[in-house]
Amino acid sequence: MLQGVVAGTVAGTAGCLGENSGSTESMTVAYVPIYPNMQHYVMEEEGFYEEIPTDVSVERFGSGPDIVTAFASGEVDVALFGITPAMVLVDRGVDASVLAANSRNGFKVVATSEVADRFERAGATAFENFEAENGRPIRFGVPPDGSVPDVVLRFWIEETLGIGAMEETISKSTVSPPRAAQTIQSGDIDATMIQEPFATIIGQDDGFRELVWSGNILENHPVTVLFANQDVVEESAVAESLVEKHSRATAFIQDSPDVAAADAAAVIGDAVDETRARAALDSRASDFLSDPHTIAPQTAPMAEFVADVGNTDQIVATEQLFEFGVYDAVQQ
């Protein structure tokens, strides 16, 4: 789906990609209100964006495909979103780079106790056994096709468990992270690949249990990143200030988790209150960082898998996707 979104946008804006205004007198930062973008909430609520030497405006998007479309068409300069949408954009010729990591290892597969019991007893054959006994496959609720949780779930089923193509093994429906807890509790799905704080929310219900943590599927896999167009990358004062504030936000999350949780709740809203946001920070699926070098090794096998399943036309090389020089300059 993301591939199609970008392809259509590229076709409609030929010659305009990466050219937003041609300057960095102003910069638009876009985000999707998901927990893995924790640095953004700290930067916004603690006033870090105000210290960047350009006029920063912040724009909120309701979904990954929406923000991908906006970035591809040049409406935004910087985005905090998943590593796989970044791959798709680069694959489609958008001149932009990952400047910093946001989070890694950020999901859990959570299922009903019935499915969890089966999996504990039978392992991978639980999927086949469930379908034989219930007359239908296990129903998974997952964010959109091509998103990071969708890719990690596919990798778990097809590569780790080795039980066949995902579409032939499970029944998959698109469920946004905020709706996952309600959807599984209502019985509309049997399992979900879910991020925090919703994994913690579901985990507090005795009727559901964790099957696997994504860090045990693809160790140290990236989730969300700080992605910037070439205008920003080339304006070193702006780019370095942006990454420095991002690194400060990461340290802030570690040093002041109560305040960071309150910042997240203030921006995300809806089902993410301060108590839930703070509890989720103690989860192993809450792993925030800034150093892009840390996620680069696991990005390579993810890029291969993303290409294999057709989300990109070719493998996006690490050197195409990352610009390490900005982070390195900040550290010096």
Q: How far apart are CA 260 and CA 281, in angstroms?
A: 9
Give the other-Cβ count within 10 Å of 90's Cβ: 22
Helix (H, G, I), strand (E, B) or coil at 13: coil
Q: What is the pLDDT along the chain (332 residues), one digit of tens a residue?
A: 445 555 554 444 333 333 444 456 899 999 999 999 999 999 999 999 999 999 999 999 988 889 999 999 999 999 999 999 999 999 999 999 999 999 999 999 999 999 999 999 999 999 999 999 999 999 999 988 878 999 999 999 999 999 999 999 999 999 987 788 889 989 999 999 999 998 988 888 889 999 999 999 999 999 999 999 999 999 999 999 999 999 999 999 999 999 999 999 999 987 789 999 999 999 999 999 999 999 999 999 999 989 988 889 999 999 999 999 999 999 99
- Hey, CA dihedral for 98, 43, 104, 121, is it positive or negative? negative
Distance linking the first and last C-alpha atoms of the chain: 40
How far is residue 8 CA from its own chain's centroid? 22
Structure tokens at 322: 């990352």
Instruction: Kindly report the pTM of this predicted structure.
Output: 0.88
d(CA 275, CA 224): 23
SS3 readout for 143-183: CCCCCHHHHHHHHHHHHHCCCCCHHHHCEEEECCHHHHHHH
Q: Is 98 exposed, middle or buried (0-12, 13-18, 19+ CB in 10 A)?
A: buried
| CA 261/CA 140 separation, integer angstroms | 29
Residues 6+ apart with CB under 8 A from 179: 141
Instruction: Give exposure, 20-55, as e/b (b: 16+ Cβ within 10 Å).
Output: beeebeebbbbbbbbbbbbbbbbbbbbebbeebebe
For the chain, domains (ranges, CATH) are 2-104+221-331 (3.40.190.10), 107-216 (3.40.190.10)
Q: Which two tokens stand for residue 239?
A: 């780019």
Q: Name residue, tokens 């096709």.
A: 145
Q: What is the C-alpha to C-alpha distance for residues 323 and 304, in angstroms, rounded to an integer?
A: 19
- Report DSSP letters for 278-329, one per residue: HHHTTSTT-EE---HHHHHHHHHHHHHHHHHTTSSSS---HHHHB-HHHHHH
Looking at residue 76, its amino acid is V
